[in-house]
Amino acid sequence: MSSILTNNGAMVALQTLKGINANLTKAQNEISTGKKVANAQDNAAVWAISKVMESDQAVFKTLQSNLNLAAAVVTTARDGAEDIRDLLDEMRRLASSAGSDANDFATVNEQIVEKRNQIISTIDGTQMNGVNLLKTNPIGTATSFSVLASLDRTAGTAVTTAQTITVNSVDFEADIEGATITTITDSTTARTAVGEIEALLDIAKTGAAELGTAAKRINDQSNFVSKLADSLTAGIGAL
């Protein structure tokens, strides 16, 4: 029934116009922000999930940088360990050459001493950003070096579990620098020195292998974290 006080047609038209304006405002917001859900008012559940994912994505980018630095630290130590192994191999050849009584033992011993001094310099100088995995204490009083590798989130909660990668010192400072090598004065002492140097070669080889394995693990984790960050970015976009 019509009334001179109420214009039903105008009311319907006004409601329709308000709906059009609301949809237009929503479309403009989506265009300007690039997001269907730009704030908690748009969709509280999706917004909350996306914010957690955005936080995790930013953290993983930081973790990747830390892992790359850690990989450089371990790779530097591995390079030093391999150089020390090469120097020990040269020392063994020198000692072996003195296995005959017809040798200048003093000269051979002097060369071995110089090689050993070079090994000590390598052990002391093989550091990256203040961390030296060839020494007894790589940093401070610690006997190992660790890096945060991941933050694993428990589903439905804000709780995360830190996962770290720890690399132990190979301790060339004690095992190689501190080792005794017999002074070569004749063929008998030369043969004794060969055995001692061979034992040090085994230590250097094992240490270099351990550092190489650790560097590979850190690099693999860095690649995984990078892919995970990209996946989170794609997931946020989908939300």
pLDDT digits (tens, 9 = 90+) for 104-127: 899 999 999 999 999 999 999 999
Q: Between 131 and 25, whose confidence is greater?
A: 131
**pLDDT score, position 60:** 75
Per-residue b/e over 56-66, b at no fewer than 16 CB within 10 Å?
bbebbeebbee
**pLDDT score, position 79:** 96
Question: What is the DSSP secondary structure assignment for residue 182, as one 8-state letter?
Answer: P
Per-residue b/e over 71-96, b at no fewer than 16 CB within 10 Å?
bebbbbbbbbbbbbbebbbebbebbb
Residues near 172 by beta carbon (within 8 Å), at least 6 away in sequence: 81, 84, 123, 134, 135, 203, 204, 207
Question: What is the DSSP secondary structure assignment for residue 156, as one 8-state letter?
Answer: T
The lowest-confidence range among 4-18, 80-94, 109-123, 221-235 is: 4-18
C-alpha span between 86 and 83 (Å, rounded):
5
**pLDDT score, position 160:** 76
pLDDT digits (tens, 9 = 90+) for 24-74: 665 566 566 555 655 555 556 565 666 666 766 777 788 888 899 999 999
Tell me what the mean pLDDT of segment 120-138 comes to.
Answer: 95
**pLDDT score, position 72:** 94
Residues near 227 by beta carbon (within 8 Å), at least 6 away in sequence: none
**pLDDT score, position 100:** 77
- Residues 171, 69, 56, 236, CA torsion sign: negative
Residue 146 has pLDDT above 90, yes or no: yes
C-alpha span between 217 and 153 (Å, rounded):
21
Per 3-state DSSP, what percentage of the chain is helix, strand, and coil (rounded to 5)?
65, 10, 25
